[in-house]
């Protein structure tokens, strides 16, 4: 986003990346339950510099449980649980790597 905002709007901001992190098998399962769920899939992960401490990096992702809450579709519960476990494991591995460095 940093480069795009600078190029298109002349605006500066901290380092800010949006990564596509979709898991096709899980996305397929969710879309088979509810075709509109594609609007809510937690496929984006944000990696950004902390504005208060630019030497720190923040990694953020949407809580997959929102899929169940917003839709009220109980068939999405198991999928959201699996996505939550995978996303948390990925974020935990980053924290482990950062503390080991």
Tens-place pLDDT, residues 26-39 = 999 999 999 999 88
pLDDT at 12 over 70: yes
pLDDT at 96 over 80: no
Beta strand 16-20 with 57-61: parallel, antiparallel or unpaired? Answer: unpaired
Q: Which residue has the tokens 């899980």?
A: 26
Tens-place pLDDT, residues 30-64 = 999 999 998 888 888 899 999 888 788 999 888 99
Closest residue by Cα to residue 44 from 88, 96, 87: 87
44 token code pair? 């984006």
58 token code pair? 């923040």
Angle in degrees, 0-180, between the axes of helices 77-100 and 24-33, rounded to the nearest 10 = 150
**The pLDDT value given to residue 101:** 63
pTM for the structure as a whole: 0.76
CA distance 43 to 86: 12
From first CA to last CA, the distance across the chain in angstroms is 27
pLDDT at 95 over 80: no
């Amino acid at each position: 986003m940093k480069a795009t905002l600078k190029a298109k709007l002349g605006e500066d901001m901290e380092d800010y990346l949006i990564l596509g992190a979709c898991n096709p098998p899980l996305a397929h399962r969710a879309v088979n339950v509810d075709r509109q769920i594609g609007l809510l899939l937690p496929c984006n992960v944000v990696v950004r510099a902390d504005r208060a401490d630019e030497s720190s990096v923040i990694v953020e992702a949407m809580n997959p449980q929102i899929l169940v809450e917003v839709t009220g579709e109980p068939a999405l519960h198991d999928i959201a649980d699996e996505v939550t476990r995978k996303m948390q494991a990925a974020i935990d591995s980053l924290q482990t790597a950062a503390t080991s460095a």
